[in-house]
Amino acid sequence: MTAKNLFKPAILTMLLSLVAISSWEIYLRYQKIPITYDDSAELWADKRKRVYIDKNKATVFIGSSRIKYDLDIKTWEKTTGKEAIQLAIEGTCPLSILEDLGNDTEFKGQLIIDVTEVLYYNLSPAFNKIPESYIQYFHKQTYAQKAGFEINHLLESKFVFFNKKFLSLSAQLDNLPVSNRAGVPLAPKFPMDFINVDFDRQTKMGEKFLTDKVLQKEVTNTWMMLLGMIRNSPPPKDNPIPIVLQKSKDAIDKIRSRGGEVLFIRTPSSGPYFELEQAVFKREIFWEPLLAATVSKGIYFTDYPSISKYNCIEWSHLTPEQAIDFTAEFIKITSLH
């Protein structure tokens, strides 16, 4: 077949593809699904490279998902005049990131560490694999990968259907109603409108999630399942507390030796989630020793009426409106430390 014979089929294929993609994009926008970014190693590395900004001009945040929801970056930057560099990763232990910053002799900035006890003290490989892979990606990122990230950023900023976490083919297949195999644990699934990530890596609940009690129930049901696992799981063979305290101390000592500053924050939770956290992760065992071991100051949300007033609609994270208020109050409190 000659090139001339292939020309018309090629044009037709391109037109059909364009119509299909356009129709899919229009449908998604009609459903009021917002543009969101893939919270990937590439996006994390893009923020990680900014930690070298002077501590008077930027603050680095590490932790788990709560600080990603609770810190409103626009409010922080407008009020403090300092850039907020968000390096927290949801559902993971932040110790690897803390150690990476401690070992980076060029980092001498201001660091705020969010503590979710069930994750901060979790040394299981399952909760450390993603941070470690992101760190490795940052240190070994090639020029081609950096260029690819810039192209993806351009596309993600324009099209809803680039939502890899929920709208990719693999994500659609994962959501098929297939019965679970007995004895095979599955990762928790969350509604799409619960997780909207912007280019600064701030995560927000969408408008639908804020008003849909069914979607909120999906998340609290997931928390109930996880809380049951925490409540019924046997204690680890090796006590992780001394290990975590030592790792934290070593990393923070290195950061401070270069002129860096470190502050801990325990962000809000409520309902049955916080009730279990109070029962299992007692302050005198998990919070106070952490501050003592690292000789650090810390902000525990229940100590301050201005940031303990929130009712988390799914027990563990603040809404966008609450995040704005929390950030404003948090800034006032940090000025006292």
Q: Quick check: is 82 in a domain? A: yes
Q: Quick check: is 168 in a domain? A: no
Q: Quick check: is 256 in a domain? A: yes
Q: Quick check: is 4 in a domain? A: no
Q: Quick check: is 206 in a domain? A: yes
- CA 175, CA 180: separation in Å to the nearest integer? 12
- Segment-wise mean pLDDT, segments of 10 residues, the chain, 337 residues: 62 65 59 75 95 94 97 97 97 97 96 97 93 96 84 66 56 56 60 88 94 94 86 80 97 97 97 93 96 97 97 97 98 81
Q: Quick check: is 249 in a domain? A: yes
Q: Quick check: is 43 in a domain? A: no
Q: Residue 84 forms beta bridges with which residues?
A: 59
CB 83 within 8 A of CB 50: yes
* Domain span at 197: 51-123+191-336
Q: Quick check: is 15 in a domain? A: no
CB 70 within 8 A of CB 308: no
Tell me which residue has tokens 């090139």: 3
For the entire predicted model, the pTM comes to 0.86
**pLDDT recorded at residue 43:** 94
**How many separate domains does the chain show?**
1
The gap from C-alpha 227 to its chain's centroid, in whole angstroms, comes to 20
- CATH number of the domain at 80, please: 3.40.50.1110
pLDDT in tens, 44-90: 999 999 999 998 999 999 999 999 999 999 999 999 999 999 999 99
Alpha helices, DSSP H only, in the chain? Answer: 3-30, 41-48, 65-70, 73-80, 95-103, 117-120, 129-140, 143-156, 164-167, 169-174, 207-211, 213-232, 240-257, 271-280, 283-286, 288-294, 320-334
DSSP 81: S
